[in-house]
Amino acid sequence: MAITVDAHHHFWDTSDARFDYYWMTDDLAPIRGRYGPAELRPWLAENGVDRTVVVQTIPSLLETEEFLATAATTDFVAGVVGWVDLVDPAAGDMISALQARIHGDKLVSIRHQAHDEPDPDWLGRRDVRLGVQAVLDAGLAYDILVRSRELPSALRLVASIPDGRFVVDHIAKPNIAKREIEPWATRMRPLADFPNVFVKVSGMITEADWQDWRPDDLRPYVQRLLEWFGPERLMFGSDWPVCQLAGTYSMVHAAALHALGELSDSERELVMGGTAAAAYRLQLQG
């Protein structure tokens, strides 16, 4: 039986004064609290998910170190998407230090909240590109967190480093609440021309109407992604616990399967695990 993977979730404890969850504004108050392996495990069991990838939430090396430590003691965490300061000339050294830690081999990618940067072309800056190159030179993938505004910059970044592995998070966050296809589609489609670009089928219900979304709302976006990228470059992610603003883990899982529509068993297995294993080079056995 194929191993299933949730390629995108988070852990946090908002009572931990060491971490500044700057993005967790008052409208996100329902997801404040502690969310760790113990809270996630029942959801994985309920939905038949075997392994996961935990993803950074803030620009913090300490958080990345904590996630690696958690991965070392949590049987279902197969990978960590961490953070380093990409514009620091020592970014490569930071990555090497993370990889040298116990279970540093579970560091599979680096991410920065590019969509929070005032400059829509932040990813196109030379110093950022050098930092991303250091990530890729270390054998890691790079997770691209953008909205439609930053997609042109993301495309230029990918085109400038054609041999790297890139993963676009949350299908680049189109405005599903308003059922807007453009400009997302026009800006997203060219990324499919690069076979080294993968996309997470994740984060969609929180881009929809939190109170009144339906699984059918997601289909127009996911069906386009299937046409452009194929199942071999799409991967499921829950975005738990952020998803709880609009629905439970099980609702996200069911909605993703619905939006994917009629796939063969082998195609569905790719989206629900195989693609994540390949893109992140996860060690899933044992």
| pLDDT in the model for residue 285 | 73
Whether pLDDT at 200 is above 90: yes
Q: How far, in Å, CA of 190 to CA of 54, rounded?
A: 28
Question: What is the phi-psi region of residue 52: left when phi exceeds 0, alpha when psi lies from -120 to 50, beta otherwise?
Answer: beta
Average pLDDT score over the chain: 97
State pTM to two decimals.
0.97
Tens of pLDDT, residues 227-237: 999 999 999 99
pLDDT band at 1 (very low <50, low <70, confident <90, very high): low
In the predicted model, what is the mean pLDDT of residues 23-32?
96
pLDDT band at 103 (very low <50, low <70, confident <90, very high): confident
Percent of the chain with pLDDT over 90: 97
| pLDDT in the model for residue 112 | 97
Q: Please provide the DSSP assignment of 215-234 as one string.
A: GGGTHHHHHHHHHHH-GGGE
- Decide: helix, strand or coil at residue 5: strand
Phi and psi, residue 53, nearest 5°: -125, 120
In the predicted model, what is the mean pLDDT of residues 12-19?
96
| pLDDT in the model for residue 171 | 98
Query: Is residue 140 exposed (0-12), middle (13-18) or buried (19+ Cβ within 10 Å)?
Result: buried
| pLDDT in the model for residue 26 | 95
| pLDDT in the model for residue 31 | 97
Tens of pLDDT, residues 41-56: 999 999 999 999 999 9
First and final CA of the chain: distance in angstroms?
A: 15
Tens of pLDDT, residues 137-177: 999 999 999 999 999 999 999 999 999 999 999 999 999 99
3-state secondary structure string, 17-72?
CCCCCCCCCHHHHHHCCEECHHHHHHHHHHHCCCEEEEECCCCCHHHHHHHHHHHH
Tens of pLDDT, residues 56-99: 999 999 999 999 999 999 999 999 999 999 999 999 999 999 99
Tens of pLDDT, residues 249-275: 999 999 999 999 999 999 999 999 999
